[in-house]
């Protein structure tokens, strides 16, 4: 059986627009996916949780985990050490610890997804303090093929030690075009450029899709490649 995990649901802008039903749900339907087996909402910032409730109301969701379960129906806490396996894929929650007391960003759910040859590290909005805790707790386990940049490439995150421990081949910056925070920060982009890796940015590339095969490098397609006519910059 194939399973579907959704990690974060994007923002909501008033009652007129949210990415849960405007983007996530149509994409899943296009893929022939009729239910979400596990929805993980990393933390309570609007750009992560905003689309969650509309998405939950729009299609069946079997399980919901979050660092803020009180904000979502029938949700449970994401806690470091939680693990499960689907279809030969391993899922391991790395953050937060059950006794952690920190900022909302640093309590973000952090999830590592692995098969025998590749792995993806989803980091929410963790900052340097949480990165240091992950280094102390997991060290070598942080190594991943793909890293979604902590906190969108903010200066608060992506410390040298964390980047060195993850040793990713690909870094993804989830950012909006011309965003008011100027993410990713130029200094952080330069920091990643010191590594031998490929960088992708959703503002420039649109949706980024990785298909992992048993042995080879992942097959990567971007929405900018496949739908060039809609791009104006």
CATH number of the CATH domain containing 168: 3.60.15.10
Are 112 and 202 in a shared domain?
yes
The total number of structural domains in the chain stands at 2
Query: What does 121-137 look like in DSSP terms, one character per residue?
Result: EE-TT--HHHHHHHHHH
Rounded alpha-carbon distances, angstroms, from residue 34 to 26, 27, 131, 185: 10, 11, 35, 37
Are 59 and 114 in a shared domain?
no
For the stretch 39-69, pLDDT in tens is 999 999 999 999 999 999 999 999 999 999 9
Are 96 and 113 in a shared domain?
yes
Rounded alpha-carbon distances, angstroms, from residue 50 to 56, 76, 129, 144: 11, 18, 25, 28
Q: Which of 78, 106, 125 is the last residue of a domain?
A: 78
Are 87 and 67 in a shared domain?
no
Q: Which of 40, 62, 78 is the last residue of a domain?
A: 78
What is the number of other CB atoms lying within 10 angstroms of the CB of residue 205? 18
Are 14 and 42 in a shared domain?
yes
The list of the chain residues with pLDDT below 70 reads 1
Coil, helix or strand at residue 53? helix
Q: Which of 78, 112, 127 is the last residue of a domain?
A: 78
In angstroms, the CA 207 to CA 185 distance is: 20
Are 49 and 142 in a shared domain?
no
Domain that holds residue 214: 79-233
Q: What is the pLDDT of residue 92?
A: 98
Are 169 and 145 in a shared domain?
yes
Rounded alpha-carbon distances, angstroms, from residue 2 to 5, 29, 33, 45, 73: 10, 15, 10, 30, 24
| Measured distance between the N- and C-terminal CA atoms of the chain, rounded to whole angstroms | 41
Q: What is the pLDDT of residue 1?
A: 65
């Amino acid at each position: 059986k194939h399973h579907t995990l959704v990690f974060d649901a994007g923002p909501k802008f008033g009652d007129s627009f949210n990415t849960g039903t405007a983007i996530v749900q149509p994409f899943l339907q296009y893929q022939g996916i009729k239910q979400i087996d596990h929805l993980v909402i990393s933390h309570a910032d609007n750009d992560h949780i905003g689309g969650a409730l509309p998405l939950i109301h729009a299609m069946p969701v079997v399980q919901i985990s979050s660092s803020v379960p009180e904000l979502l129906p029938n949700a449970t806490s994401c806690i470091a050490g939680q693990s499960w396996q689907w279809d030969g894929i391993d899922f391991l929650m790395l953050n937060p610890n059950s006794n952690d007391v920190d900022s909302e960003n640093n309590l973000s759910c952090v999830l590592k997804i692995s098969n025998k040859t590749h792995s993806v590290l989803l980091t929410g909005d963790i900052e340097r303090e949480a990165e240091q805790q992950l280094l102390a707790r997991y060290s070598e386990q942080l190594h991943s093929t793909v890293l979604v940049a902590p906190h969108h490439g903010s200066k608060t995150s992506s410390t040298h030690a964390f980047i060195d421990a993850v040793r990713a081949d690909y870094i993804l910056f989830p950012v909006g075009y011309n965003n008011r925070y100027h993410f990713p920060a130029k200094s952080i982009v330069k920091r990643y450029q010191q590594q031998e890796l490929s960088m992708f940015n959703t503002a420039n590339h649109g949706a980024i899709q990785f298909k992992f095969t048993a042995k080879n490098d992942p097959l990567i397609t971007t929405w900018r490649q496949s739908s060039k006519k809609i791009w104006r910059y």
